[in-house]
Structure 1
Amino acid sequence: MSNSDVTYLFDPLCGWCYGATPMLDRLSASGVRIEPLATGLFSGAGALPMDEGFAAHAWANDQRIERLTGQAFTQAYQRNVLGIRGTLLDSHAATLGISAAGLEDPSRRLTALKAIQRARYVDGRDIVTAEGVAAVLADTGMADAAAMLRKPAETVLTVHAELVGRGRALFQRLHANGVPSLAVIRNDAPRLIGSNALFGSFDNLVAHIAAA
């Protein structure tokens, strides 16, 4: 399945987006080029406080995602992320870090996203502060992106605003009901592939993309 492009709408703090990773990896391996676009779902006005109720809701949801996809949500994550009160569920720093990683090479955006997701859900690391995300990027071999995140220049901020603006505009145009979502854009006409297709069979997902 070559010469197919899909746009992947995501938020780095979305557990279902992390759960979609194995399917995205299979798509990439089959020759599909994936362009990730953040929608800013959990940033700015969308940021949420990490309280007892939210943590319990998130953990129950995460266990469901793990059963469905095999993606690990560890005790370290439950203890060091969900268990810490007074923090925000705010994806701004993580999203900006992903934009910085892809400044010179857009293919690094997906690599950065996966590293950030793994840092949170497997290693239980902080990815809601600029310093926390910068440390993850540096550990992934992206010291340049880490430096840009610590002191973001106008160039990075402009590119970041453009990427998130595109993600939000596409999300709204498609009337998507959440992330993760995939879109196939042909002749400037985007077609939505709902998130359900990312959690079923791979052949079904491929058929959806081919038919779009």
Structure 2
Amino acid sequence: MVETMTATRLHYIYDPLCGWCYAVAPLVKAAREVASIELHGGGMMTGARRQQITPAWREYVAPHDRQITQATGQQFGQAYLNGLLTDHTAWLDSEPPTAAVLAAEQVQEAGLDMLARLYEAHYVEGLRIADAGVLSDLAGELGLDRGPFLEALQSFRGEAVNAHFAESRDLLSAVGARGYPTFVIEREGHLERLDHTPFLGRPEAWQSALKSLKLRPPAPSQLEVGCGPNGCAI
């Protein structure tokens, strides 16, 4: 049984195509054991911000990926590095995978499981996580009934997921955050942004800090590592 923090909720503002969100995946996993987590997808790459894989894109993300591995130990698979990042027919689109998280949560309260699987599928296995077929396969791997999942996935596409993105960005703005990933603790209706950066690569320490609530907000001048609302650099 999960031992949760009393009268608290942890809000996690993320994007499925944010490399620094992949970097904090171990922190999210650790937090699940001590906190009730609510997910908020930011829609970093949607609409006109969708990104086609190009040589320039590969050059752009390479230093970020190396920094993530150095800071956290999170590994990027060869299928991603020398597969997906060389596939110039592939597009990066945050809407379908975010809708998949919402659908998994609706069907079986498995949003966190889907998000974790999406990061592994993209950054390790080099899969196109914007493709409905890939999302259906991932749902099957998680034990979700594909029929209800695909129905829910379709219902969250378009207007519904865009409304979710707007709410997530409102929350991001309300706590004065600059991008993804952002963790916000809610205690008796009060929202406070947390500084997760000292815990990068230290999930056990992060879990202990959450459990004891011995955390601090980021300093106003602190330069954060992460992805901005509209791209993978701040």
In 1, distance between residues paired with 2:120 and 2:77? 10
In 2, distance between residues paired with 1:138 and 1:74? 22
1:2-21 matched pairs, under 5 angstroms: 2-3=5-6, 4-21=8-25
Q: Specify the code of the residue in structure 2 equivalent to 1:17.
A: C
In 1, distance between residues paired with 2:142 and 2:108? 15
Superposition deviation, residue 159 in structure 1:
5.5
Gaps spanning 5+ residues in structure 2: where?
217-234
Gaps spanning 5+ residues in structure 1: where?
none
Superposition deviation, residue 88 in structure 1:
2.2
Cα pair distance change 1:101/1:111, threshold 3 Å: same
Q: Is the 8 A contact 1:6 1:32 kept in 2?
A: yes
**Residue number in structure 1 paired with 2:67:** 64
In 2, distance between residues paired with 1:204 and 1:110? 18
**1:43 and 2:46 are equivalent in the alignment:** yes
Match of 1:182, SS state, is strand
**1:85 and 2:88 are equivalent in the alignment:** yes
Superposition deviation, residue 157 in structure 1:
6.2
Cα pair distance change 1:162/1:114, threshold 3 Å: same
Q: Is the 8 A contact 2:97 2:130 kept in 1?
A: yes
Q: Specify the code of the residue in structure 1 equivalent to 2:167.
A: R
1:52-201 matched pairs, under 5 angstroms: 52-106=55-109, 108-142=110-144, 143-144=146-147, 146-148=149-151, 152-153=154-155, 160-199=161-200, 201=202
- Structure possessing the higher relative contact order (Cα contacts under 8 Å, 6 or more residues apart): 2
Aligned length in residues: 208
Superposition deviation, residue 69 in structure 1:
1.6
Q: Is the 8 A contact 1:99 1:159 kept in 2?
A: no
In 2, distance between residues paired with 1:120 and 1:191? 31
TM-score of the aligned structures, taking structure 2 as reference length: 0.77
In 1, distance between residues paired with 2:192 and 2:113? 25
Q: Specify the code of the residue in structure 1 equivalent to 2:67.
A: R
